Amino acid sequence: MASASAKDSDIPSTSSACDFQFAHRVSFKEDAVLIPGPGADTVEKSNKRHSGSTLKPSLKESNVANRNGRNTARSEEEDPWVPQYTLCLDGGGIRGMSTLLILRRLMDVIKEVEQTINPAAASSTTPYMFPGRQRRDAEPITKSAASSPTAQSSIHTIENSAFLPCHYFDYIAGTSTGGLIAIMLSRLRMTVDECLEEYTILGNEVFGRPRAKRVFIPRSLKLDSLEARTGRLERMLRTIVESKGSKESVDKIDHFASRPDSCRTIVVTVRKSSSSSVPYLLRTYNHPTAGEEFDPLERNPGDPLDCSVWEAARATSAAPTYFKAVRIKGQKFLDGGLVSNNPTWLVMNEVCQMHGSRDSIDLCLSIGTGCAPVRSKNGISLTRVLMPYKVGTPRQSQEQVGLEIEDGRYERCKYERFDIGSVWDVGSTKSEWKLWRSDSTMDSIRNATSTYLNRQDIKKSLEEVAQMLVRQRRLRAKTSRWETFVFGVNYRCEANLCPTPQKLWKNRDELVAHMQRSHNQESPGPDNIDAIEEMLERCKTRQWSYDKIAIDIA
């Protein structure tokens, strides 16, 4: 074997010059992508729906460096990984059910598009095989319960489990219950139907129990006390995370931080100190600082906070009137909904800071939970009680983004918001969380969301968003980076006397380029393609499965 003729570190991290698709077996042809790309006709005045807010400080173009080290110039033949696709989810307690129902409809439309275009895609991992999934509870459904909503949801899960939001979006972000959903969809790589199941179980376990009889018992032992609710919430969050992880996993599930080359997760929380309460972004990735010049829009840059997945979920959902605050590394965190119940504006600034330009975002999809009624307790407005924390509302964030798009600050970005609005009366004295006790409330949310999704304008908007997402996924699936994005695959050279035997290569193109540089490997061709594929399979060091977060296959 020859020694290395060039530094291995010189090999690019994206698709290399020897861009071959021998491992795909079924590859996509250029003429098979029949969906039109986003252009001036798709980003039109339909995006300019919002008004009536004073503009906050805008992102300084001169102060934004590309934090990922990539060239952000756009062209007709650009790298399909340059344009970013973001999903932002509002908070809203039980009303988060509406968010999931809207997302489920979107994934249904995506599946229809994926299977209508030639060649049809069997899953969102295509052209790679989709691994099997396992339900948390494997008990069979009885005949009498076969027609129940739970049973029907299970059937829907089996039919649609192969299409995951984390394969269509680069960033999934949320606040409060939207943060919980973002963690399940992105960090835990769950389907929407799995989220619906876990979300319902969580609500019923935390709030669905009957009230204790009116007898004297210590406050800490009451079923509906702050301490009891917090304990039940923490146990449920741990259960959800553990059901998706494995003690033997390479991608340690007890850490919120994850690989930056997969779908990234952002949850909004509030860091509370004796003197102030400020928005704080919990990220699964590193956010490099802007440099010497201070950027007022930058939120806690640096390495991701060293915390577990369940701690991140607790931090974004620690509403003061419902749950105790959570302490992580000596810092106190509260519900992110206190500062930004709609995280869209914060997230758009974050993505632009990470990728160096406002033109880096092609699609920003924002999903609301409907408008909550003004609540009061003992004649005192809860809005007034929370005023020391409150600096942003869903409406303000929505209008802020709309105004900045109108102003031309996001020229390439298609901004779409789905929100059922205030269309049902849930009462003025009940908590958004405690309404889980009421079956009628759940039915109202389902009915209101169904009515909203059956509107022709909403159907058209969902179709447009699905077309964009499918088109971009298919373009990305042609690159070797796709395997890493959906499966977390790394490669390690198996050659004897390798100068870098412990180095992990991000994708198969990088490994083959290394083999050609360092070990005189012949270029892939008809005579050696099977041998090279067998070598690549042996050199894999890790791969995610989707019933357990990750497995070590070395």
Residues with a known catalytic role: 176, 335
Q: Return left, alpha or beta for 25; rule: phi > 0 is left, psi -120 to 50 is alpha, else beta.
A: left
Establish how many alpha carbons lie within 13 A of residue 475's alpha carbon, considering only the half-sphere containing its beta carbon. Answer: 19
478 Cβ contact list (under 8 Å, min separation 6): 21, 27, 28, 80
- C-alpha distances in angstroms, 235 versus 11, 231, 242, 362? 45, 6, 10, 38
Query: What is the 8-class DSSP label of residue 301?
Result: -
Instruction: Report how far Cα 25 is from the mean position of its chain's Cα atoms.
Output: 29
Nearest to 457 by CA among 22, 33, 49: 49
Length of the chain: 554
- C-alpha distances in angstroms, 32 versus 13, 166, 273? 27, 23, 55
13 Cβ contact list (under 8 Å, min separation 6): 506, 510
Read off the tokens for 475.
């373009």
Nearest to 186 by CA among 110, 178, 203, 159: 178
Per-residue three-class SS string for 3-35: CCCCCHHHCCCCCCCCCCCCCCCCCCCHHHCCC
The residues that bridge with 175 in the sheet, in sequence order, are: 268
Reduced to 3 states (helix: H, G, I; strand: E, B; else coil), residue 317 is coil
Read off the tokens for 140.
């069979």
**Token match 């004073």: residue?**
54
423 Cβ contact list (under 8 Å, min separation 6): 370, 448, 451, 452
Reduced to 3 states (helix: H, G, I; strand: E, B; else coil), residue 415 is strand
**Token match 């995951």: residue?**
164
> 312 near 257, Cβ under 8 Å?
no
Q: At residue 130, what is the residue type?
A: F
**Token match 């139907």: residue?**
193
> 107 near 194, Cβ under 8 Å?
no
Instruction: Report how far Cα 254 is from the mean position of its chain's Cα atoms.
Output: 18
Q: Measured between alpha carbons, how far apart are the two ends of the chain, in Å?
A: 24
Dist. CA 299–CA 289, nearest whole Å: 10
Dist. CA 332–CA 328, nearest whole Å: 7
